[in-house]
A and B are shown apart, each in its own frame.
Chain A
Amino acid sequence: MRHRMSQISAFWNARSRVQQWGLLVPVVVFLLWLPVLNPPLITTEPATDFPIALFNAAVLALIAIGLNVVIGQAGLLDLGYVGFFAIGAYTTALLSSPDSLLGVRYPWLVIVPIAMLVTMISGVILGTPTLRLRGDYLAIVTLGFGEIVRLLADNIDPLRGNRGFQNIARPEATYPDGSPVFSQTDVLGFYWLAVCLIVIVLMLMGNLERSRVGRAWIAVREDEDVAELTGVPTYRFKIWAFAIGAAVGGLSGALFAAQVGYVNNQRFDVATSILYLAAVVLGGSGNKVGVIVGAFLVSYIPDRFQFEPQYRFLVFGLALMVLMAFRPQGLLGMRQHLLTYGRQAYRRLFGAGAAVAPTGMTASTRAAGDLPEVKPDDHAGTSPRGGGE
């Protein structure tokens, strides 16, 4: 299994960027057609609508991509990411629902950038005081933040708590026959929109990863102290990671709010936040394609077993445990190799045939094939801790 995986990744990494995109286009087209194909066995029907299940998976994938910036790229364990998702959804609700006190009804397309900006700013607000914390302390503070957002939505009357906001704006478009492209129940339009957003965000993230920012994040993830000593302003880049991750969270929140058309304080709890984390880690934190696969599984498994509601979360929990036992580093491992000049560097190092960059060739990795621990809290040797037994 592992061998097969590394062969695939070797093949993949040997392609040029153009070739990679060429291979990806049919995949994306297939994904776009999936809800129309509605293949037996894979479909979640009749228990739950298949396009909606796919849309939910796509929203979770978008969330996972955003969270991956924080966890996978910068190595910051964030357990309160749902807070950003909630802020995105609530911003959308406040700016478009007739239930809102603001009394405005902006179109969805206008709201999206506002929602992203608002969540980005709240990411900075959260990050500024907390990002000096390390490791699991950061984890619990972010968890607290997520809870605080939910509880504020509950306690502050203008945010309407459990009563929620109805009639939230959707993108406006109609099919030739006059029926809306974006509706709550016929979500093909929403699904296609979500997939397109994922592709756009992926491209932006790819560029970011290959930039100075991406290198700084990886440096922070691998060893924050060394990064700081070599002149990387770690604190600033961590805030960047938080803000960018938050913006993607806000985007997905806005998308979610538009499809459901209704937002209340349910569904923004710790448990949901933990599911997001599961999506990232399951797929392979640090690997953009991996987290999409992980998100798909986390969203899809409970939906697939919707016909047996008594057991679906049991199945889900078991699946998490089993997958982690067999692929501890996630389904697709972290991309360890240098990204910017990776191709050239590896070719020179290993020869043209081995433009492979097996996931274990960076200096920080101990055993071939084994990924290093993500250990955000390694305080300069206060708790030296090997990966071994």
Chain B
Amino acid sequence: MPAGGGRPTPPQERVISPVLGLAVLDPAVLDPAVLAPLVAPSEPWINFDVGLLVDRFWANTINGLAYGSIYALVALGYTLVYGVLQLINFAHSEIFILGVFGVYLTFLALGFEPGAIPDLPLGFIIVDLILAGLVAMVVSGLAAVLLERTAYRPLRRRRAPRLAFLITAIGASFVLQQLIRIWRGSNPEGTIRLLPPTPVFEIFGAPVTNLQILIFVASLAMFVVADTFVNRTRLGRGIRAVAQDPDTATLMGVNRERVITITFLVGGLLAGVAGLFYLMTIPQGAVYNGGFLLGIKAFTAAVLGGIGNLRGALLGGLILGVAENYGQSLFGGDWRDVVAFVLLVVVLMFRPTGILGESLARSRA
């Protein structure tokens, strides 16, 4: 038992810098002789495996872009709502997981069963996937609008301070999560997988799977649709107007309430699509608390790119997805989230409003 049971006898009264942050870097603590009895043999707790990073560069890039697209789709929802209401919609991760459940329940309703991969013609599978995606969009979209109506609108009526919105969002997040748990139980749903990934071609020796292509391309397409909607349509102009100045926009005849509803709807629809892609990538993902971590990451991505900015959300999502993978190869798998948050801090040091750093109102093409 190298750890825990037989306690090592460390040198007595080792003097150490009192700052925890510094203690970690204190050479005395890093002394292998001190650490040796505590760690499993030959395993440092952090690596600098440059060889692996170089070796896996393209594979990591491709995987990161595909997974980052999912971040980006969810991040769009955060960014839209933030742009219009200046609200961190903490419950958006639950909107997303509702979409995942929408997909899953559609699969069940279509007669698929957990476990084996069904042997169906590709055409059927695509139709089923599109159907599930549509259901997910409807579920997430409706849930988002309902959330807006029942939770946020009453607060707006009362001109509540912004922190009240935040707490309501947190409360709503709890409620949605717990409702799913009570309904579906706390185990992840049994895996239903329609389309196993198969490599299609290679880039510099790194295989690219059909799933990755699909997710990346479809996410880009969804982004273009959302971007066009916000920047080119009449409703989109309303969104931008409210984002820029709600009072003036109202005076100019923009129906603010309707704009807000539409914003939530669009965010929900995108979260539904993200739910489909997520469940296709991670078929084990349908679990009540499965949205939380992804939601935090997506929010990080939105801020990274510049919150309130659609393009920023896309860019932030992709960068985060890729950087996490590089970081894991370089430092080890357990440093993934640290890399994500450190990256965020570093970027904000130099670009205090994110990489693209604009508000929704100004992202006018």
Contacts and interface: CB of A to CB of B under 8 A. Distances in A.
A–B contact with Cβ pairs below 8 Å: the answer is yes
B161 A329 contact: yes
Interface centre among B14, B174, B345 (most CB of A within 10 A): B174
Contacts of A371: 161
Contact of B13 (A103, A122, A281): A103
A137 B353 contact: yes
Q: A-B pairs with the 4 shortest C-beta distances?
A: A317-B174, A328-B160, A320-B171, A144-B341
Interface stretch (A24-32, A127-135, A190-198, A228-236): A127-135
B26 to A, nearest CB: 10
Contacts of A370: 159
Nearest to A375: B162
B35 interface: yes
Interface stretch (A34-42, A113-121, A180-188): A113-121
A314 B337 contact: no
A244 to B, nearest CB: 17
A59 to B, nearest CB: 20
A169 B4 CA distance: 18
A162 B7 CA distance: 16
Interface in A67-116: 71, 77, 87, 90-91, 94, 98-104, 114
B178 A313 contact: yes
A145 B345 contact: yes
B164 A102 contact: no
B60 interface: no
Given A101-B29, A383-B86, A141 B345 contact: yes
A389 B256 contact: yes
A382 interface: yes
B182 to A, nearest CB: 6
B245 A270 contact: no
Contact of B21 (A122, A129, A130, A144): A122
Interface magnitude class on chain B: 35 or more
B120 interface: no
Contact of B175 (A104, A133, A141, A318): A318
21 contacts: A94-B20, A101-B35, A102-B10, A103-B10, A103-B11, A103-B14, A104-B12, A125-B21, A140-B344, A144-B340, A151-B337, A152-B24, A155-B45, A156-B45, A163-B3, A163-B4, A314-B182, A324-B171, A328-B159, A373-B162, A374-B162
B104 interface: no
B58 interface: no
Contact of B247 (A117, A141, A382, A386): A386
A99 B38 CA distance: 10
B39 A137 contact: no
Contacts of A377: 86
A143 interface: yes
A316 B283 CA distance: 31
Contact of A157 (B19, B45, B168, B173): B45
A317 B174 CA distance: 5
Nearest to A330: B164
Given A139-B88, A147-B337, 16 more contacts: A102-B10, A103-B9, A130-B348, A141-B348, A144-B344, A147-B296, A158-B29, A160-B3, A163-B4, A316-B174, A329-B161, A373-B161, A384-B245, A385-B246, A386-B246, A389-B246
Interface in B135-194: 151, 154-164, 166-168, 170-175, 177-179, 182
Candidate in B156, B168, B307, B335 with the most chain A CB atoms within 10 angstroms: B168
A311 B349 CA distance: 42
A274 B3 contact: no
Contacts of A310: 182
Contacts of A382: 359
B163 A317 contact: no
A155 B86 contact: no
A95 B35 CA distance: 17
A143 B10 contact: no
Contacts of B174: 313-314, 316-317, 320
B159 A281 contact: no
A139 B300 CA distance: 11
Contacts of A274: 90, 170
Given A136-B88, A314-B178, A324 B160 contact: yes
Interface of B: 3-4, 7-14, 16, 18-21, 23-24, 29, 34-35, 38-39, 45-46, 82, 86, 88, 90, 151, 154-164, 166-168, 170-175, 177-179, 182, 244-247, 250, 256-257, 292, 296, 299-300, 303, 307, 334-335, 337-338, 340-342, 344-345, 348-349, 352-354, 359, 361
Interface residues of A, number: 82
Given A140-B303, A157-B45, A101 B348 contact: no
Contacts of A339: none
A99 B154 CA distance: 52
A157 B171 contact: no
Contacts of A141: 344-345, 348
Contacts of A98: 7
A371 B341 CA distance: 34
B303 to A, nearest CB: 5
A271 interface: yes
Contacts of B178: 311, 313-314, 317
A277 B168 CA distance: 12
B352 A137 contact: yes
A23 interface: no
B349 A101 contact: no
A133 B11 CA distance: 43
A321 to B, nearest CB: 4
Contacts of B179: 314
A363 interface: no
B288 to A, nearest CB: 11
A328 B345 contact: no
Contacts of B335: 151, 155
A133 B348 contact: yes
A285 interface: yes
Given A101-B29, A102-B14, A157-B38, A277 B166 contact: yes
Interface string A222-242: 000000000000000000000
B155 A328 contact: yes
B359 A136 contact: no
A71 B86 CA distance: 17
A86 to B, nearest CB: 9
Given A278-B167, A382-B359, A389-B156, A137 B7 contact: no
Contacts of B13: 103-104
Contacts of B303: 136-137, 140
A382 B359 CA distance: 9
